[in-house]
A and B are shown apart, each in its own frame.
Chain A
Amino acid sequence: VQLLESGGSLVQPGGSLRLSCAGSGFTFTNQAVTWVRQVPGKGLEWVSSITGDGATTNYADSVKGRFTISRDTSENKVFLQMSSLRADDTGVYYCANGLWRGSLDYWGQGTLVTVSS
């Protein structure tokens, strides 16, 4: 099982960014995918999750209305579209897979998002 995030970069406050998570080594449509972020040196914060079929999503209150999670099953990818970015969105963003009502079984290595002017 492998998960690989990409798309992180430096962006100005108010800007937008799209993160990608590419999965391999498992049946992509059987697994939910979750985004978790971490400010360097701090703890883990759940951001958003999407079911294997993409029909159901959930968001943390801190990102609701600004972030959108989606998936492309033909490409085995999950995306996190982030808009109206703020300084407190800065951190390493990890994607992880698992059951919708389960633990986060496998994690990618993360991609760094820095929101700063």
Chain B
Amino acid sequence: EIGMTQSPATLSLSPGERAILSCRASQSVSYSLAWYKQKPGQAPSLLIYAASTRATGVPARFSGSGSGTEFTLTISSLQSEDFAVYYCQQYHDWPRTFGQGTKVDIK
């Protein structure tokens, strides 16, 4: 099983600041990495797939990078609606596995 580790667990930032979230895989997943956003009481929604491709309707302030075992999600300038929990997930191998999540909250 491929383990996914996200850091930090919590990121406390102010609106307008840049957020950098990390995701590490225990073995290479190539580019088969997705990022999801989840707000309280809501289902997750897809942000990024194939490590760096924004899903339909996702604002340009969200960008993904990385390959192999190291991945990054960057939010260039935090908006109020961006304060949420973010999960990475690998779909390179079975079982599919998620990171434990990074909570981005308001400082």
Contacts and interface: CB of A to CB of B under 8 A. Distances in A.
Given A44-B87, A94-B43, A110-B43, A105 B55 contact: yes
B100 interface: yes
B49 A45 contact: no
A46 interface: yes
Contacts, number: 54
Interface residues of B, number: 22
A58 B1 CA distance: 14
A43 B101 contact: yes
A104 interface: yes
A109 interface: yes
Given A34-B96, A43-B101, A58-B94, A103 B44 contact: no
Interface of A: 34, 36, 43-46, 49, 58, 60-61, 94, 101-110
Interface of B: 32, 34, 36, 42-46, 49-50, 55, 87, 89, 91, 94-101
